[in-house]
Chain A
Amino acid sequence: MSYKVTEEGEISIVHLDGEIDMDVTEKAKEVIMPLIEAKKEVHLNLKEVQYMDSSGISVLIESHQKATELGTKVILKDISKSVLKVIMMAKLEQILNLG
């Protein structure tokens, strides 16, 4: 997994790339969580994520919950087909913010 963070005003955009599994979830959290803790609105661009397993989905849930707790939000953008399928399999499409 690789990533790139860009800023647009109060919004932090995290572009994730590659496969997100248990081996990289800590790295993903290290990137995303500080942005949420800084109370930024975070957009996760998932266009280039070819694979995500339950560990990756857990990162999305934790990010969403942390953001809600701190009064901000995480929005999932440009979700790849394979990631959307796993989100739907987890029945989270109504819970997470899909933008």
Chain B
Amino acid sequence: MNNLAHISEQRDFVVSSSSLKDVRSFSREVFEKVNINQDLKDELVLAIAEAAQNIVKHAYQGEDTEDKMEIKISLSNGNLEIGFFDKGRPVEKDKIRHRKIDDIKPGGLGTFFIQQIMDAVVFKEGEKPWINHLILSKKIDY
């Protein structure tokens, strides 16, 4: 395993639930290059997969599409930044809620996981051709 100080890798995926395993494989490949513990790697893969799932579920509302989403993983001097770009419906930030801890029902868990795992979650308007740009960031000690 290397201990790279700088990583910047990106990949496109068709917006589909069937792409989620490829999103996980890509994320695992990238984090294999970084000397961080396996638990943290697993958490980061989960956060990335949940964010990609949210694009499929919410930005495209599960509709079939040939559109692609782009995921870019960057690590520089311990600052991990993961960018998600899509051309789906604009995210309505006010409507994003994660599940309350005592609210036992399916749904809203993905955003809850992302917020537990990452230090910051920022939604931005995407620059053309993208509509949405989500940035997940976390300080990594390695």
Q: How far is the CB of A64 from chain B (nearest CB, A)?
A: 9
CB distance from B47 to the nearest CB of A (A): 10
Task: From A5-13, A41-49, A81-89, give the one contacting chain B.
Answer: A81-89
Q: How large is the interface on B (under 10, 10 to 19, 20 to 34, 35 or more residues)?
A: 20 to 34
Residues of A in contact (CB 8 Å), total 22
Q: Are B17 and A21 in contact (CB under 8 A)?
A: yes
Given A55-B53, A62-B106, A86-B18 contact (CB < 8 Å): no
**Cross-chain contact B42 with A23 (CB below 8 angstroms):** no
Q: Decide yes or no: A22 and B105 within 8 Å by CB, A54-B110, A86-B46 being known contacts.
A: no
Bits for B1-25, please: 1 = Cβ < 8 Å to A, else 0.
Answer: 0000000000000000110110010
Q: Are B20 and A23 in contact (CB under 8 A)?
A: yes
Interface residues of A, Cβ cutoff 8 Å to B? 19, 21-23, 51, 53-55, 57-59, 61-62, 65, 82, 85-86, 89-92, 95
Please list the residues of chain B having a beta carbon within 8 angstroms of any beta carbon in chain A: 17-18, 20-21, 24, 39, 42, 46, 49-50, 53, 56-57, 101, 104-107, 109-110, 112-113, 116
Known: A65-B104, A65-B105; 15 extra A-B contacts, CB below 8 A, are A21-B49, A21-B53, A22-B57, A23-B18, A23-B21, A51-B24, A53-B49, A53-B110, A54-B50, A54-B53, A54-B109, A54-B112, A59-B106, A85-B42, A90-B113
